[in-house]
Amino acid sequence: MTATVTSTSTESGGAARPAGLKFPDGFVWGAATAAYQIEGGVSEDGRGPSIWDTFSRTPGRVFAGHTGDVACDHYHRYVDDVAMMAGLGLASYRYSISWPRIQPDGTGPVNTRGLDFYDRLTDELIGKGIDPVITLYHWDLPQTLETRGGWTVRETAEAFAEYAQIVYARLGDRVKTWTTLNEPWCSAYLGYGSGRHAPGVTDPASVFKAVHHLLLGHGLAASALRTAGAQSVGITLNPSSVLPLDADNAADREAARIVDGLHNRIFLDPIVKGAYPADMLEHMSRFTDLEFIKDGDPALINAPIDVLGVNFYQPAYVSAKPGQPASPENPGTDGIAFRAPVGPVTDMNWQIEPAGLTRLLERLHGDYGVPMLITENGAAYPDGPSGETGEVHDTNRIEYLDGHLRACHDAISRGVDLRGYFVWSLMDNFEWAEGYAKRFGIVHVDYKTQTRVPKDSARWYSEVIGRNGLE
């Protein structure tokens, strides 16, 4: 795949930058969502409770007591939502399956009404010429499984593989691309370490048990999908571009090694290379014995993948700082400081640095050599309809997306096998612990009326798709 540059342009007051950037033929343009964040209908048609139902209903856990009970009401409005996607020219749509819709208790009887919904959604997408990309797990673990130990126990990994087979049996004749997990780092470190996400546990030992069983669940599910005939199988991670604050300082470089291990190598090495890094095994053993890693597990985790999904939002800069307490969501990072964002930030206070994405993609390509998709990239801004026209002018988001797409183009031009880009997100939605306070969508949602209004960024993105590139 090759990418071309046809001309250059100079913005007023700025330096020259490439213009007329074309992406390779066949580059996939899409948008992404997640089940709990948009569907609503949490008690309809046999769906069981998930850990996010429990977490969001627990006082003090989610901003202003918000829940995903209604969210964007996509469960009832999916036909109109798919028509909206088609109007934007999306070639692909990445969505997740709600495990408690399929198996309300996480194991046992299958809820056919839950499968029926995804059957209808998938057919609607294909009928509009939109290729479905499915994520089997985007954080909404059935509560019954969590009560029995959640991702800290082996049973959940085994149940996940069974669930994957059930979903594939219904949708596999129409869906080509399957990803197992979304951001297992968040599930393990935020769910069991800092407790900022469901299930809200704060226990370093549980973090690493969850890491392993999430990876095991991925490997078992990937093998089950492959055996059943899946054409393309992968996983979506949120790898971090980790840099020492002072590259000439040995202590800062050591801090970066540890954080890179916790964010990146602890997941990527077992998946792609078939073994945990030795330094991460040692790190884990500071908090728990490793008896939960059974003989043969590394080979199971190392099930071949066809694509690596990459979610990227911001880089990380770290330095050695004696006496600094460990970050709750990064066990064992005592003596390490994470630099606060510098320069422009999004509404999440996340640093905007597109070059960090190029750097990360080059590193992943060089170290792991797996074809990649950007499965999430986007920005939250506090935008809303203007009083006169009702339009949503989100220039900041357009600038963010433009910069990161240029970063993707740079990576492709340097030989990275990047095959597509999914903007996060299609529409404003329930943003986990932030509730409805943060808006990532290229489509504005009025949560009272459920009215959808494409923002300026949606029209801009539609034009990018139409020309397969940037002006």
Cβ neighbours of residue 449 closer than 8 Å, sequence gap 6 or more: none
**Bridge partners of 10?**
16
Cβ neighbours of residue 282 closer than 8 Å, sequence gap 6 or more: none
Q: How far apart are CA 93 and CA 76, in angstroms?
A: 18
> Cβ(195)–Cβ(275) under 8 Å?
no
Residue 39 bears catalytic tag = no
Instruction: Report helix, strand or coil for 443.
Output: strand
> Cβ(371)–Cβ(308) under 8 Å?
yes
Q: Find the catalytic residue in 39, 146, 353, 376.
A: 376
Tokens of 121: 């959604």
Q: How far apart are CA 245 and CA 250, in angstroms?
A: 11
C-beta atoms surrounding 387 within 10 Å: 6
Cβ neighbours of residue 287 closer than 8 Å, sequence gap 6 or more: 204, 205, 207, 208, 331, 332
Instruction: Report helix, strand or coil for 467.
Output: helix
Q: Find the catalytic residue in 39, 146, 183, 329.
A: 183
Residue with tokens 């479905």: 132
Residue 291 bears catalytic tag = no
Question: Distance of CA 347 to CAs 130, 359, 378, Å?
Answer: 31, 24, 11
Q: Report the half-sphere exposure of 339 (CA within 13 A, side-chain side).
A: 19
Residues 398, 421, 94: CA angle, nearest 5 degrees: 110
Residue 424: DSSP 8-state: E
Q: How many residues does the chain have?
A: 471
C-beta atoms surrounding 379 within 10 Å: 27
**Bridge partners of 445?**
452
Residue 263: DSSP 8-state: I
> Cβ(104)–Cβ(47) under 8 Å?
yes
Q: Report the relative pairing of strands 16-22 and 4-10 from DSSP bridges.
A: antiparallel
Active centre residues (catalytic): 183, 376
